[in-house]
Amino acid sequence: MKLKYLFLIALSVSCLFSVAQNKKTGYKFHSINSVTLINGSNVTSAALQSVNGFKKGPLFAGLGLGLDYYLYRTIPVFADLRYEFGKNKNKFFAYTDAGVNASWVRENNYNGILIPEIYMIINQYHDGFYMDAGMGYKVKIKKQNSLVLAIGHSQKTLKQISSYFDGMSNSRVIDVYHYKLNRIVLKAGWEF
């Protein structure tokens, strides 16, 4: 529920900034929306990202929101910084992202009976950290529109607490798992 409110606030702020931008300052509003292929030691997966912010000269700073399906579904909320190299219309760039990795797994996930003596496994997921850094190439299509291709390294962390009742020992067992997921990312997107 709180993620919906966070998304609405981010969307409202970006709309207000785009309306309030002043052409004399040199700041220009840009939106970068991309589809990402993620590969790590566990699986190959996909993600979606939308970054909205302001550009002045070769620098870009913005806020991003994503949907990451790698191992567990999460929503990265992050700050994005980019620097473009060169004076040509097509440019190389470097980027870095850092923020919160909000879990979007059901808070209480009941797996049912696994073994007759173990009843009701409850999984709780807690938010972690998100980071992404890499390089890319931007191909200008029209005035403000560009095709953006990038490759980088990403990491997301997540904590899982599993608890169940062990009928054999007549006690509750709690296991804690800390996930630190390192991945290679390939991004293709559109900047306008």
Domain ranges, residue 117 = 2-191
pLDDT at residue 109, as a whole number:
47
Number of domains in the chain: 1
92: phi then psi, degrees, rounded to nearest 5: -85, 155
> What are the residues whose beta carbons fall under 8 Å from the beta carbon of 176, sequence distance 6 or more?
159, 160, 161, 162
pTM of the complete model beyond 0.85: no
pLDDT, position 87: 86
Q: Which two tokens stand for residue 190?
A: 């559109």
Which residues in the chain show pLDDT less than 50?
1, 19-20, 22, 109-110, 112-113
Each residue's pLDDT tens digit, 93-134: 999 999 999 988 765 544 544 555 556 677 888 889 999 999
Beta bridge partners of 93: 84, 136
Query: Quick one: tokens of 136?
Result: 């890319």
Q: In whole angstroms, give the CA distance from residue 26 to residue 54.
A: 10
Q: Rounded distance, CA 134 to CA 44, Å? A: 19
Q: Residue 27 corresponds to which tokens in the numbers above? A: 């700041």
pLDDT of residue 18: 53
Give the domain CATH number at 67.
2.40.160.20
Q: Token digits for 181? A: 């997921």
